[in-house]
Amino acid sequence: MAISRARFNLLTMGTRQLPQADLCEELSWWSIDGDTLLGMVGRDKIDDDYLWMVMARDRIGRFRCASLKVNYRRNAIAERQLRAEMAKIVDDGEVAEFGTQGDETNSPLDPFAVPTSTNDAKLHPYFQQLATNHSNAPARKVITELALWLAPAEPQFVREFQGAGFDQRLWEMYLWAALREFRLDVTQLEAPDFLCRAPSGAFTIEATTVAPSEAGPLSKHPEPQTPEELEVFLHDYMAIKFGSALTSKLRKRNKAGQSYWDRDESRNRPFVIALADFHDPATKEVPGSMVYTQSALWEYLYGLRISHHHDGKGSLVIDYDLVSEHTYGEKTIPSNFFALQEAENVAAVVFSNAGTIAKFDRMGVAAGFGAQGCTYIRRGFLPDPDPDAAIGRPFAVEVSAEGYEEWWTQEVQVFHNPNARHPLPEEVLLGATHHWLVDGKVLSSRPLDAVLSSTTMILQTVDTFENERSNEPFDEKRT
What is the per-residue pLDDT across 426-451, written as a single tens digit (0 to 9) for each?
A: 999 999 999 999 999 999 999 989 99
What tens digit of pLDDT does each residue of 106-148 get?
Answer: 777 789 999 888 888 999 999 999 999 999 999 999 999 999 9
Burial category of 307 from C-beta neighbours within 10 Å (exposed 0-12, middle 13-18, buried 19 and up) = exposed
| Full-model pTM | 0.91
Distance CA 298, CA 276 (A): 14
Residue 283 has a CB neighbour count (10 Å cut-off) of 9
* DSSP string across 252-295: ---TTS--GGGSTTTTTS-EEEEEEE-SS---SSS--GGGT-HH
pLDDT in tens, 29-48: 999 999 999 999 999 999 89
The gap between the terminal CA atoms of the chain, to the nearest Å, is: 35
**What contacts 165, CB < 8 A, 6 or more positions away?**
none
Give the list of residues 6+ apart from residue 7 with CB closer than 8 angstroms, or none.
Answer: 29, 31, 367, 368, 369
Partner residues linked to 420 by β-bridges: none
Task: Specify which of 283-287, 288-292, 411-415 reaches the highest per-range mean pLDDT.
Answer: 411-415
The DSSP annotation for 426-459 comes to GGGGBTBEEEEEETTEEEEE--TT--SEEEEEEE
